[in-house]
Amino acid sequence: MLQIDALPAFNDNYIWLLQDTTQKRCAVVDPGDAAPVLAWLKQHPDWVLSDILVTHHHFDHVGGVEQLCNITGAKVWGPAQENIPARQVALNDNDHITVLGLEFEVFVLPGHTLGHIAYYHADASTPLLFSGDTLFAAGCGRLFEGSPEQMYRSLNRLAVLPAQTAVYCTHEYTLSNLRFAHAVEPNNPDIAARIAQVTAWRAEGTISLPSSMALELRTNPFLRVNETSVKEKADEWNKQDNDSPSAVFASLRSWKDKF
């Protein structure tokens, strides 16, 4: 039986902790800091950290990898196209790997970085997506290396996953992303309802994740570039007729960068 918990790191990162409660083995996704993971392992001395999954090379996602690997002997999986500390298995698009008895498919999703990957487990009831900094709750990652067209295609690849897919991204950006979503679609009732819900959660100290693909399709402007009202707002922002969905995306991303 798999249990997934968030280990907070830095100001707004989450290190996802996957736990096989039967075997008492666990894995972590994007451990930018080793300390929260080591603290958990110290509190659970009969557990073994078997695997470390990395989505991309930014320090807040890999800073703790080498230390954890050295201390625990965990296997390090990461994108083949990027320099990942202590990586033992280099992953390419459409690779299939088994972690804690679960099969994950690897998607290469250029945009935030050129070699960024995500891990997808196609469970029949609740599929799992560990999206790193590509797809956020109500948002998407900044384009540090890739082009708007690349990120648009990457997001489209995720948008066709089953509606019930649980989306585990790695930052608590949801409320600020929703404020931007509301600026893009001020009359979207799903966005208004989500703002109210997430505001209440954050006031209680509750995290806003995971999201679901269904919820993202209703409230994430970067997945809604084909909506007429979204295009109109994008056109208004950059004062031109954005004549393709990827152009609408590029306008929205430029707007969000300055929002």
The amino acid that residue 117 corresponds to is: I
Please state, in angstroms and as integers, the Cα–Cα distance from residue 127 to each residue in 124, 180, 184, following that order: 7, 28, 29
The amino acid that residue 196 corresponds to is: A
What secondary structure does DSSP assign to the chain, as a single string?
Answer: -EEEEEEEETTTEEEEEEEETTTTEEEEE--S-HHHHHHHHHHSTT-EEEEEE-----HHHHTTHHHHHHHH--EEEEETTS--TT--EEE-TT-EEEETTEEEEEEE--SSSTT-EEEEE--SSS-EEEEETTEETTEE---SSS-HHHHHHHHHHHHTS-TT-EEEESB--HHHHHHHHHHH-TT-HHHHHHHHHHHHHHHTT-----EEHHHHHHH-GGG-TTSHHHHHHHHHHHTS---SHHHHHHHHHHHHHH-
- The pLDDT of residue 123 is 83
- The pLDDT of residue 124 is 76
Whole-angstrom Cα Rg for the chain: 18
- The pLDDT of residue 1 is 77
Q: Smallest Cα–Cα separation from 206: which of 5, 60, 2? A: 5
Annotated catalytic residues are 56, 58, 60-61, 112, 133, 171
Q: Within 13 Å, how many C-alpha atoms sit on residue 157's CB side? A: 23
Alpha-carbon span 228 to 133, nearest angstrom: 27
Q: What is the pLDDT along the chain (259 residues), one digit of tens a residue?
A: 799 999 999 999 999 999 999 999 999 999 999 999 999 999 999 999 999 999 999 999 999 999 999 999 999 999 999 999 999 999 999 999 999 999 999 999 999 999 999 999 998 789 999 999 999 999 999 999 999 999 999 999 999 999 999 999 999 999 999 999 999 999 999 999 999 999 999 999 999 999 999 999 999 999 999 999 999 999 999 999 999 999 999 999 999 999 9
- Both tokens assigned to 188: 């979207």
